[in-house]
Chains A and B, each alone.
Chain A
Amino acid sequence: MSEEPVFEYDESVIGIEEEVGTLTVDAETVANYCELMGETNPLYTEQGFVPPSYLQRMRFSGGPDPKVKFGNTGFHAGSRMELLKPVKVGQTLTGWAQAKEVYAKTGRSGTMVFQVSRLTYRDENGDEVAHSDQLMVRRQVGE
Chain B
Amino acid sequence: MKTVDPTMQNYFDDIDLGDEFEDEWTPDMEQVLGYLGLEGDALGSGGGPGDGRFTDPEGAKKLGFPKPIVPGAFSLSRLTKLVTDWIGTGGTVEFVDVNFRRPVLHDDALKVLGLVTDTEEGDGSGTVKLDIYLENERGERPLQGTAVVQLPKR
Q: What chain A residues lie within 8 Å of B108 (beta carbons)? A: none
**Residue A13 at the B interface, CB < 8 A?**
no
Closest to B47 in A: A59
Tell me the chain B residues, 27-42 only, with Cβ under 8 Å from chain A.
31, 34-35, 38-42
A53–B80 touching, CB < 8 Å: yes
Question: Count of chain A residues with Cβ under 8 Å from any Cβ of B?
Answer: 37
**Residue A86 at the B interface, CB < 8 A?**
yes
Closest to B64 in A: A141
Q: What chain B residues lie within 8 Å of A81 (beta carbons)? A: 80, 95-97
Question: Count of chain B residues with Cβ under 8 Å from any Cβ of A?
Answer: 35
Segment at the interface with A among B54-62, B85-93, B114-122: B85-93
Residue-wise, chain A 46-84 has the 8 Å CB interface mask toward B (1 for contact) of 010001111011110000000000000001111111110
Show 24 residue pairs from A and B whose CB-CB distance is below 8 angstroms, ordered by the A residue.
A26-B41, A29-B40, A36-B31, A37-B78, A41-B6, A41-B88, A42-B6, A42-B89, A44-B84, A51-B81, A53-B77, A53-B81, A56-B80, A58-B42, A59-B46, A77-B100, A78-B97, A78-B98, A78-B99, A79-B72, A79-B73, A79-B100, A81-B95, A93-B42
B7–A23 touching, CB < 8 Å: no
Q: What chain A residues lie within 8 Å of B7 (beta carbons)? A: 40-42
A56–B40 touching, CB < 8 Å: no
Q: What chain B residues lie within 8 Å of A54 (beta carbons)? A: 42, 77
Q: What chain B residues lie within 8 Å of A2 (beta carbons)? A: none
Q: With A26-B40, A40-B6 in contact, is A83–B73 under 8 Å at CB? A: no
How far apart sit A38 and B97, CA to CA, in the bound complex (Å)?
A: 22
Q: How far is the CB of B30 from chain A (nearest CB, A)?
A: 10
Q: With A37-B77, A42-B89, A56-B77 in contact, is A75–B100 under 8 Å at CB? A: yes
